[in-house]
Chains A and B, each alone.
Chain A
């Protein structure tokens, strides 16, 4: 009986945690969602989630480890015997459903964020990124060119989409501040986008091993005002 109640609870759990978040799109739609901010919400949820699961198991383990130490030399354990099918299945299926509910809950969160991360806003500024051993080249819509010493200069307040390709081996473009990376593959074009909301300088690095100077393939994303950007891109044309 108790097993059945728990089973029912687990199924309800799956529905509540797994399905509702997908439907509950309550926020007013902007033109786009800044996925860097969303990332943090999901990350915090996730830390709570794994913290609670880990905490429960850890506290139980530590308690058992101290509470059940051997008292007499000939003492043997007195653990539960799994003799009935109900007990075996109950202890297998109920936890499984709970884990599954949590998996679906996390999947839903991850999926939602993923859609934001992969949907490029329409007004995004396009930059072509080329990786080669061992440096980067950035080409802007107006023909301006930059590299890793000069930096990836972008204007504040406008989403940027990177169209990326590689001239030789696999590289990967990573901007920790914006929580994004994607590989650059010979023979393919991949993309990333981010929203440089405020002015500032942020590190970008290569994150796919590409030989001797892999660790020197880095530079700065420089977020500047629109005026500074216009001036800069005019100067770097051609």
Chain B
């Protein structure tokens, strides 16, 4: 049984392995987040015996794990693996063994990341790993960071090749590009970004490694290197990486919102070609907005202010389609739909607070404060996380054949939503007043203490809701009621043509789609097979 799972090449099991790994990372990084919040409730040392070095390691782990080991694998590993072949009517991915290898690499990366809890010199370089601190001065073990990035990056590149091939060559007979599920489009966009940009990230951290352990001087100014080189390379990948997270998150929202309002996607073509591909193209030339205060030439900061602001156009098209899909719909609320619709609020808050951060003259004040922290938590920490949760709930009957408890799900959702808002709104406020990020202590701003306390209370509420969610999933997967074949009345192939859970090979025969079929139409329709 265990062997069957470990050596599986079935995309559905690989997907579940990704899910388990990324939720494990999420749980550990979440507990660490609670510790961080707890430490910040009071000025000075709040948890007995916890000094700045512990805090810095926690913060490093929280950031790196949440982004590299939870969000990216959760969205492009778990959801893509489980859903893409089913949605396009394929038996599996193009290279099933390569796929299995990717998930192994991902698990190795998680093991390495977790080992940093037991080694004597854990990394403390934050998830951005800026030299020369990381390469010359940090007492921590930078290699653990570099190898984690290498493994996850390699895993992701393999995934990208695999999924691009799968969607290009293995769609069901008759399926045209304009008949793809919206989620499949967002995965294509995300993997194009990964394929182009991950190698840049890999090279930047490799140079860090050679600087630290082999005495090279890529980032040592005294020997002719340049510390800005790293920052440019790092963000050249890591800004597009936020779209690797954003796009599939929007994809999940769009699927669920369309399905639960039984409405075709509002202006599907504009959302795909303008929204998804607009983000992919424009998102690649805005990275300098992460370097607004690092002493680059003044003119390039102005140039990238304009390009960054222009991103609001494709993002705007995506939001119009999300909201428009509700218009004249027939909306029913499930737990998944609650997460998906509340995400409309979160994507607005997160996206619109990105606008001041795009303006270099305002960022002169806002950069590296809690304002930035609240911004990217709204968009990634909450919106993208809600998307993963929405996905788990919505496709839970598909994956397990059983129904989760809707009541627990709704209670968990309400607590979650209240908790995150309680946590992050105060941080916007004190961020604007000057509270810097990555601070163990804030003795200079004693007046911020009540806000920090409020944020910690919020975090505890979130933790309770997480416990409910995990309990709901685990118990329902084993004891839940048997789920109906197509509980949400979807018209997408994974619901109309497969069992729940789908057997080996997914489809009894290959489904065939006619030119009138569309996954986001909800007219009753006839099942066709090759």
| A76, B326: Cα distance in complex, Å | 12
| A70, B262: Cα distance in complex, Å | 9
Interface size on B, as a range, is: 35 or more
Is A111 an interface residue when CB atoms closer than 8 A count as contact? yes
| A80 vs chain B, min Cβ distance (A) | 7
Is B454 an interface residue when CB atoms closer than 8 A count as contact? no
| A180 vs chain B, min Cβ distance (A) | 5
Interface size on A, as a range, is: 35 or more
Known: A46-B362, A64-B326. A203 touches B52 (CB 8 A): no
Binary per-residue interface labels of chain A (27-71) against chain B in the complex, 1 for a CB within 8 Å, 0 otherwise: 000000000000100110010011001100110110011001111
Q: Which residues of B contact A203 (CB under 8 A)?
A: 434, 444-445
| A71, B262: Cα distance in complex, Å | 12
Chain B CB count within 10 A is highest, among A68, A77, A102, A207, for A77
| A40 vs chain B, min Cβ distance (A) | 10
Known: A96-B316, A99-B313, A203-B445. A169 touches B133 (CB 8 A): yes
| A114, B301: Cα distance in complex, Å | 10
Is B228 an interface residue when CB atoms closer than 8 A count as contact? yes
Known: A70-B330, A76-B262, A107-B305. A176 touches B365 (CB 8 A): yes
Is B274 an interface residue when CB atoms closer than 8 A count as contact? yes
| A174, B441: Cα distance in complex, Å | 16
| A186, B264: Cα distance in complex, Å | 55
Is B345 an interface residue when CB atoms closer than 8 A count as contact? yes
Name which residue of chain B comes closest to A96, CB basis: B313
Q: Which residues of B contact A6 (CB under 8 A)?
A: none
In the complex the two chains form, is A107's CB within 8 Å of B306's CB?
yes
Known: A61-B344, A68-B331, A80-B327. A187 touches B361 (CB 8 A): no
| A215 vs chain B, min Cβ distance (A) | 4
Is B112 an interface residue when CB atoms closer than 8 A count as contact? no
In the complex the two chains form, is A58's CB within 8 Å of B345's CB?
yes
Binary per-residue interface labels of chain A (77-118) against chain B in the complex, 1 for a CB within 8 Å, 0 otherwise: 111111000001101100110011011101101110110011
Partner of A42, one of B295, B317, B361, B437: B361
Q: Which residues of B contact A185 (CB under 8 A)?
A: 221, 227-228, 294-295
In the complex the two chains form, is B309's CB within 8 Å of A103's CB?
yes
Known: A50-B353, A79-B263, A79-B324. A187 touches B359 (CB 8 A): no
In the complex the two chains form, is A110's CB within 8 Å of B359's CB?
yes
- Interface 9-mer from B124-132, B238-246, B403-411, B417-425: B124-132
| A49, B354: Cα distance in complex, Å | 13
| A230, B361: Cα distance in complex, Å | 33
In the complex the two chains form, is B328's CB within 8 Å of A80's CB?
yes
Known: A39-B361, A43-B356, A57-B348. A79 touches B325 (CB 8 A): yes
Partner of B444, one of A111, A168, A218: A218
- Interface 9-mer from B113-121, B148-156, B265-273, B504-512: B265-273
In the complex the two chains form, is A57's CB within 8 Å of B369's CB?
no
Is B302 an interface residue when CB atoms closer than 8 A count as contact? yes
In the complex the two chains form, is A60's CB within 8 Å of B323's CB?
yes
In the complex the two chains form, is B267's CB within 8 Å of A91's CB?
yes
In the complex the two chains form, is B442's CB within 8 Å of A215's CB?
yes
Partner of B326, one of A65, A169, A206, A218: A65
In the complex the two chains form, is A77's CB within 8 Å of B344's CB?
no
Q: Which residues of A contact B437 (CB under 8 A)?
A: 207, 209
In the complex the two chains form, is B138's CB within 8 Å of A39's CB?
no
In the complex the two chains form, is B266's CB within 8 Å of A79's CB?
yes
In the complex the two chains form, is A82's CB within 8 Å of B268's CB?
yes
Q: Which residues of B contact A218 (CB under 8 A)?
A: 443-444
Is A208 an interface residue when CB atoms closer than 8 A count as contact? yes
| B273 vs chain A, min Cβ distance (A) | 8
In the complex the two chains form, is B262's CB within 8 Å of A75's CB?
yes
Among A180-227, those with CB < 8 Å from B are 180-183, 185-188, 190, 203, 205-216, 218
Q: Which residues of A contact B349 (CB under 8 A)?
A: 54
Q: Which residues of A contact B341 (CB under 8 A)?
A: 61, 65
| A126 vs chain B, min Cβ distance (A) | 17
Q: Which residues of B contact A54 (CB under 8 A)?
A: 348-349, 352
Is B312 an interface residue when CB atoms closer than 8 A count as contact? yes
In the complex the two chains form, is A168's CB within 8 Å of B359's CB?
no
In the complex the two chains form, is B313's CB within 8 Å of A103's CB?
yes
Partner of A75, one of B124, B330, B361: B330
Is A237 an interface residue when CB atoms closer than 8 A count as contact? no
In the complex the two chains form, is A207's CB within 8 Å of B138's CB?
no
Is B436 an interface residue when CB atoms closer than 8 A count as contact? yes
Binary per-residue interface labels of chain B (265-307) against chain A in the complex, 1 for a CB within 8 Å, 0 otherwise: 0111110001000000000000000000111001001100110
Is B261 an interface residue when CB atoms closer than 8 A count as contact? yes
In the complex the two chains form, is B126's CB within 8 Å of A209's CB?
yes
Known: A69-B331, A77-B328, A209-B126. A174 touches B368 (CB 8 A): yes
Partner of A181, one of B227, B312, B364: B364
Known: A46-B355, A107-B305. A100 touches B295 (CB 8 A): no
| A207 vs chain B, min Cβ distance (A) | 4
Partner of A114, one of B361, B369, B433: B361
Partner of B319, one of A57, A100, A104, A180: A57
Known: A110-B360, A211-B137, A216-B441. A88 touches B269 (CB 8 A): yes
Is B522 an interface residue when CB atoms closer than 8 A count as contact? yes
In the complex the two chains form, is A215's CB within 8 Å of B356's CB?
no
In the complex the two chains form, is B132's CB within 8 Å of A168's CB?
yes
Q: Which residues of A contact B433 (CB under 8 A)?
A: 176
Partner of A80, one of B266, B305, B323, B436: B266
Is A172 an interface residue when CB atoms closer than 8 A count as contact? yes
Q: Which residues of B contact A213 (CB under 8 A)?
A: 52
| A12, B320: Cα distance in complex, Å | 23
| A179, B367: Cα distance in complex, Å | 10
Name which residue of chain A comes closest to B344, CB basis: A61
Q: Which residues of A contact B293 (CB under 8 A)?
A: 172, 181-183
| A91, B319: Cα distance in complex, Å | 12
| B455 vs chain A, min Cβ distance (A) | 17
In the complex the two chains form, is A180's CB within 8 Å of B522's CB?
no
Chain A to chain B contacts (Cβ below 8 Å), 23 pairs: A46-B355, A50-B356, A53-B352, A54-B352, A61-B326, A64-B326, A64-B329, A65-B326, A71-B330, A79-B263, A79-B324, A88-B270, A133-B137, A168-B136, A180-B364, A180-B365, A187-B221, A187-B222, A205-B444, A207-B367, A211-B133, A214-B440, A218-B444
Contacts A211-B56, A215-B439 supplied; 17 other A-B pairs, CB < 8 Å: A58-B344, A61-B345, A68-B328, A68-B330, A77-B264, A79-B324, A82-B268, A92-B317, A95-B316, A95-B317, A111-B302, A174-B369, A209-B56, A211-B124, A212-B56, A215-B441, A218-B443
